[in-house]
Amino acid sequence: MQAACGKEIDTLLKKLANQSEATEATRQQWQQELKQQQQQLNYLQGVTGTRQNLRDCVKRDLQWLLNTHNLCQSDLEENYPETARSVLNYGLPDLTGRTASSLELGKLEKMLEKTILLFEPRILRDSLQLRLLSNESMLDHNALMFEITGQLWAEPAPLYLQLTTQLDLESGEIKILE
């Protein structure tokens, strides 16, 4: 679409450069068309940049979220549900030093999904899927890989998101690889 706008702009500029080819009314019409094509091209370029910027922001914010350690008290949800859902409990429990074999992978997957749903509202709730990727070599290195997929709320249509993420249990660091 952008290429078509660019070609149309070039054609109109060439027509306008040729003084003898057109009447004044035709030249005004071409100038109006040129203005419309330039506006459309600017819009298309802005939309493309905005959608990529949104994706980059969500990726950055997810990395911050997943690398932040929360209060993680087991009775917090039961006794203080508002606190459990507030920014005071932003992030994940500290997993540093844990071994992959000591973790209940199903619970970890649910905890990651719950945290993302709670603190990343730009991902549409019904579209979020989190899947642990089983890889024996990663378990040997005390790391876990998981895939986050979903749709980002965007106009005019949702933006698809797919991220592969690595959790290093030795350092507790989570890296979003893409």
Q: Is the pLDDT of residue 2 over 80?
A: no
Residue 119 lies in a domain: yes
Count of domains in the chain? 1
Residue 14 lies in a domain: no
The whole-chain average pLDDT of the chain stands at: 83
Q: Is the pLDDT of residue 138 over 60?
A: no
Question: For position 30, what pLDDT does the model report?
Answer: 79
Query: Contacts for 61-64 with beta carbons within 8 Å, 24 or more apart?
Result: 61/120, 62/116, 62/120, 62/148, 62/163, 62/165, 62/176, 63/174, 63/175, 63/176
Residue 95 lies in a domain: yes
Mind listing the pLDDT tens digit for each residue in 97-125? 888 778 888 888 999 999 999 999 999 99
Q: Pick the residue with more confidence: 61 or 5?
A: 61
Average pLDDT over residues 126-143: 77
Residue 149 lies in a domain: yes
Q: Is the pLDDT of residue 43 over 80?
A: no
Residue 166 sits in a domain whose CATH number is: 3.10.450.40
- Provide the pLDDT confidence category of residue 48 given band limits of 50, 70 and 90: low
Question: For position 71, what pLDDT does the model report?
Answer: 74
Residue 90 lies in a domain: yes
Residue 70 lies in a domain: yes
The dihedral region occupied by 172, where left means phi > 0, alpha psi between -120 and 50, and beta the remainder, is left
90/67 Cα distance (integer angstroms): 10
Residue 27 lies in a domain: no
147/176 Cα distance (integer angstroms): 9
Residue 7 lies in a domain: no
| Domain membership of residue 144 as a residue range | 55-176
